Amino acid sequence: MLWSNIIATCVVLAGVPSSLAYPGMGEQMAEIMRRQGDSGEFDSTEPLGDLITLPDSQLTPTGADIKKILTGQGTPQSTTTWTAPKLGSSACQKDTCCVWQYIVNDMVADFRGKSGRCTSWARRAVRLGFHDAGTWSKTTAAQGLPGGADGSLCSTDEINRADNNGLQDICQKVNGWYDNWTKKGYAVSRADIIQMGATVATVVCPLGPRIKSYVGRVDNAKAGPPNLLPGVDQSADALIALFRDKTIGPHSLTALVGAHTTSQQFFVNTTRAGDPQDSTPGVWDVLFYGQTLGTKPTPPRVFKFNSDIALSKHPQTAPEWQKFASAGGQQDWNEDFAAGYIRLSLLGVNNINKLTECTKVLPGGTPSFTPNDQSNVDKWLKTADQSATAKKISNALHAGESLLGWLINLINGILGGLKKAT
């Protein structure tokens, strides 16, 4: 059934006496309205790559499932798990996903902090996935230029572009994983390591969605075209246009920038290196949306990006932004982020129908999270102090440590210093 018909039916139903309404109708309406919002003119429903031309009769089960997700009717998250056979066993060799279990185990060890928050490695991995895929656009692809989720970010001089400041270390790690596993004879691509890294990182961050994850992308040794990644001082209109050219509509863009919920900036203002974009860095929560909007109180150390502020106010992105910020926003956001990220992770990929879904290798998510040190994080956030002591605290958060034990003395020291200064 077409969404427009469903909406028309709803409008009719909404006008009838409440005696004709049935239990649960309100909920269904809300769900239908939500999906309508997500698949209307503000969203992304275009198929990509080989799925544009392949007839449905030729789609593999994975190809068909991805097409459903891309056209707004699929399920972008999954809880599928398994127990991997031993590495090197014949059972392992028979399953394309098996080696990925072992790669992913290594990733998780780097991404999960002792506090339960995700580490800077995880945040960089999410950003890396975006910046590798983000060098694709409809315009440049039509000109025959390379770009997209093809691993080139970590194998060419793309990594030296200013856009990619801060991603050098995670590229080194990706290249380490690539070298180690290919030397052992496993045919893994850099593109897949990068995209798997992003979805692993997302689910390791507490509250993050468990996004369906695929392997089989082909590497390209050519750098993607420049100037296709967003700038922090671009207008909301320019950002919306930039992402539209990647088939990503304003709703998906609103969901995707929510990744800044975990981040701590370093290069936008180097004086404030390590300052987070919401009060809970390393946690995949919706506080970022409320604090950027200003509907949630924002302590001085939280550093809002101009681009995020602009998007939070633009008529095409503000409604979704407000929805994510409000009660129930987390679930809505997780679903929309997952769908948006799958699209992003397939930009420039022309063998989508032949990919293998390996979501089962992902660790389980953390659907609820109460850190035992948030009161100390909050103390640190109350000051904008950039002393060496404050940096130690920011580094501890970066590493995913709890702000407990010896760090408490440092935090109290900063607060004491602040009191003396004022």
Q: Which two tokens stand for residue 75?
A: 């399920």
By CB neighbour count within 10 A (0-12 exposed, 13-18 middle, 19+ buried), where does 408 fall? middle
Residues numbered 161 to 200 that lie near ligand NAG (CB under 6 A) are 173, 176-177, 180
Which one among 68, 272, 296, 313 touches ligand NAG, defined by CB under 6 A? 272
Residue 126 binding: pick among ligand NAG, ligand HEM, none (C-beta 5-8 Å cut-off by kind): ligand HEM
Which one among 44, 115, 120, 189 touches ligand HEM, defined by CB under 6 A? 120
Amino acid at 360: K
**Per-residue DSSP letters for 123-152?**
HHHHHHHHHHHTT--HHHHHTT---SSSSG
Q: Does 264 bind ligand HEM (CB under 6 A)?
A: yes
CA–CA dist 128, 122 (Å, integer) = 10
Which one among 238, 266, 299, 389 touches ligand HEM, defined by CB under 6 A? 266
Closest CB to ligand NAG among residues 28, 180: 180
Cα 148 to chain centroid, rounded: 16
Residue 331 C-beta: closest distance to ligand HEM, Å: 18
Q: Is the dihedral of CA 407, 409, 415, 417 positive or negative?
A: negative
Which one among 97, 256, 302, 361 touches ligand HEM, defined by CB under 6 A? 256
Residues numbered 87 to 106 that lie near ligand NAG (CB under 6 A) are 106
Query: Within 294-346, where are the H helices?
Result: 306-313, 318-325, 329-345
Residue 15 C-beta: closest distance to ligand NAG, Å: 53
Residue 177 binding: pick among ligand NAG, ligand HEM, none (C-beta 5-8 Å cut-off by kind): ligand NAG
Residue 71 C-beta: closest distance to ligand HEM, Å: 21
Contact string (CB under 6 A) for ligand HEM, positions 226-255, x = contact: ----xxx------x----------------
Give yes or no for a contact between 189 and 218, defined as CB atoms under 8 angstroms apart: yes
User: What are the backbone angles phi and psi of residue 211, rounded to the nearest 5°?
Assistant: -85, 135
Give yes or no for a contact between 78 and 359, defined as CB atoms under 8 angstroms apart: yes
Residue 348 C-beta: closest distance to ligand HEM, Å: 16
CA neighbours closer than 13 Å in the CB half-sphere of residue 4 = 2
User: What are the backbone angles phi and psi of residue 63, rounded to the nearest 5°?
Assistant: -60, -45
Closest CB to ligand HEM among residues 111, 130: 130
Tell me, what DSSP letter sits at residue 112? B
Residue 174 C-beta: closest distance to ligand NAG, Å: 8
Residue 106 binding: pick among ligand NAG, ligand HEM, none (C-beta 5-8 Å cut-off by kind): ligand NAG
Which helix (H) or strand (E) element contains residue 63? Answer: helix 61-70
Which one among 126, 153, 346, 362 touches ligand HEM, defined by CB under 6 A? 126
Q: Which two tokens stand for residue 100?
A: 């990925």
**Per-residue DSSP letters for 168-210?**
HHHHHHHHHHHHHHHHTT----HHHHHHHHHHHHHHHSTT---
Residue 357 C-beta: closest distance to ligand NAG, Å: 24
Give yes or no for a contact between 7 and 40, defined as CB atoms under 8 angstroms apart: no
Residue 180 binding: pick among ligand HEM, ligand NAG, none (C-beta 5-8 Å cut-off by kind): ligand NAG
CA–CA dist 48, 421 (Å, integer) = 57
Residue 264 binding: pick among ligand NAG, ligand HEM, none (C-beta 5-8 Å cut-off by kind): ligand HEM
> How far, CA to CA in Å, does 401 sit from each of 112, 248, 393?
10, 35, 9
Residue 266 binding: pick among ligand NAG, ligand HEM, none (C-beta 5-8 Å cut-off by kind): ligand HEM
Tell me, what DSSP letter sits at residue 118? B
Residue 176 binding: pick among ligand NAG, ligand HEM, none (C-beta 5-8 Å cut-off by kind): ligand NAG
Give yes or no for a contact between 206 and 366, defined as CB atoms under 8 angstroms apart: yes
Residue 265 C-beta: closest distance to ligand HEM, Å: 4
Residue 225 binding: pick among ligand HEM, ligand NAG, none (C-beta 5-8 Å cut-off by kind): none
Q: Which two tokens stand for residue 273?
A: 């290196």
Which one among 99, 104, 149, 257 touches ligand HEM, defined by CB under 6 A? 257
Which residues of this protein are in contact with ligand HEM, per CB under 6 A? 120, 123-124, 126-127, 130, 166, 230-232, 239, 256-257, 259-260, 262-268, 305, 307
Which residues of this protein are in contact with ligand NAG, per CB under 6 A? 106, 173, 176-177, 180, 269, 271-272, 384
